[in-house]
Amino acid sequence: MTKRFALRGRVVANGHDILDGLVVVNGAAIEYAGPAEGYGKEWPEQVERVENGFICPGFVDMHMHGIAGSDTMDGTPRALQTISRALAGYGVTSFLATTMTAPYADLEKAIRNVVEVFRKGTDGASIVGIHLEGPWINPRYKGAQKEENIVPPALEDVRRLWELADGLIKVVTIAPEQTGALEAIRWLKDQGVVVSAGHSGASFAQTESAVRSGVRHFTHCFNAMTGMHHREPGVAGAAMYHEQLSTELIADGVHVHPAVMRILYRIKSASRLVLVSDSMRAAALGEGVYDLGGQEVKVQGAEAQLADGTLAGSILTLNHAVQNMVTLSGVPLAEAVAMATETPAEILGIGGRKGRLQAGYDADLIVFGDDYQVRSTYVGGRLVYHV
């Protein structure tokens, strides 16, 4: 029997904030989403009233390495299932399993594992692809990536990893100034991959060449890239200059100052700015010492750092990224939600079924409290998290 239920309350989705909204779920899909008074059919028997909170689409995290003690690079089904379940507790219903710079043997193991788990399905948030962050980056802008594993993007290696992933590689972060990068960018673009400039020391001119070759996205803007100067705009300047291109933002208030978060939002708008966590295995675990690609990371307060003080990914979760955009940078709630839902879904080419509360879309939705804590998470109409 098809499960049919409804959630009634404040609905924040698709750029709108409806105080008395209704979302009707029928099986794995959304039947209706909009004002409660506009629903003209027979209401489901099960209607949950949401008080002191709101309903919105499930988050899509297109750049996250790990959480709750597990990492994509662990290369095991157990690690990905742990990540999947943990993400659901923070409102994520879809994610890209993100790798990092490592020897090819380790990358291949991780990719095979993602393909296997993708085919079998996950317990919580759904894997919708792979984000390769490295090893084709600039050593000077490596961030927390291990320099000895950085290599130039030889086309045969790029092709091999893409074929191994069986079409699951959706995003590749690359430093466009590196030898062989433009050829790799053009090839990846032809395969439908979102090519993202990041961990890069490129000049503005070099970035322009990369954009002409196929770059259409920027990885964690302002971090691990040449910054904007009035005489040399760099990669960050190119990200802001090209209004039609999208860019990531780690909105924890640490990686980027809240004022700059707001400036970036005003330039890019919610339709081209995507909130990402870039979280590592320490996320959701509290302070302590953790591992990131064989490197010791100390988590204290809101920061995860290597021994030399380099920021090592983040411990951010997307519910708090949305909260920070609203409370620290003055962004309207509906637009902050869009940056974690509709915008990444569109960038990844899944905007026709995810990222919105709309009839016919996947029933991926979350219920929040006014404190931005997740109360319930549904993936394909299935309750995967509830408190």
Q: Compute the average pLDDT of residues 75-87.
A: 98
pLDDT at 351: 98
Nearest Cα to Cα of residue 62 among 296, 341, 328, 375: 341
- Mean pLDDT for the chain? 96
Nearest Cα to Cα of residue 93 among 353, 323, 335: 353
Look up residue 230 and give its amino acid: H
Query: Which CATH code for domain 59-347?
Result: 3.20.20.140
**Homologous superfamily (CATH) for 4-56+358-386:** Urease, subunit C, domain 1 (2.30.40.10)
- pLDDT, one tens digit per residue, over 126-151 is 999 999 999 999 999 998 889 999 99
Q: Can you list the alpha helix ranges (DSSP code H) found in 1-132?
A: 77-88, 104-120
pLDDT at 171: 98
pLDDT at 309: 83
The secondary element (H helix, E strand) that includes residue 132 is strand 126-133
Q: Can you list the alpha helix ranges (DSSP code H) found in 103-146?
A: 104-120
Rounded Cα distance between 5 and 26, Å, is 7
Catalytic residue numbers read 278
pLDDT at 1: 40
Nearest Cα to Cα of residue 181 among 138, 234, 245: 138
pLDDT at 144: 87
- Residues of the chain within CATH 3.20.20.140 domain(s) are 59-347
- Residues of the chain within CATH 2.30.40.10 domain(s) are 4-56+358-386
Decide if 234 contacts 227 (C-beta within 8 A): yes
Burial letters 65-97, b for 16+ CB under 10 A, else e? bbbbbbbbbbbeeebbbbbbbbbbbbbbbbbbb
Q: Compute the average pLDDT of residues 356-367.
A: 98
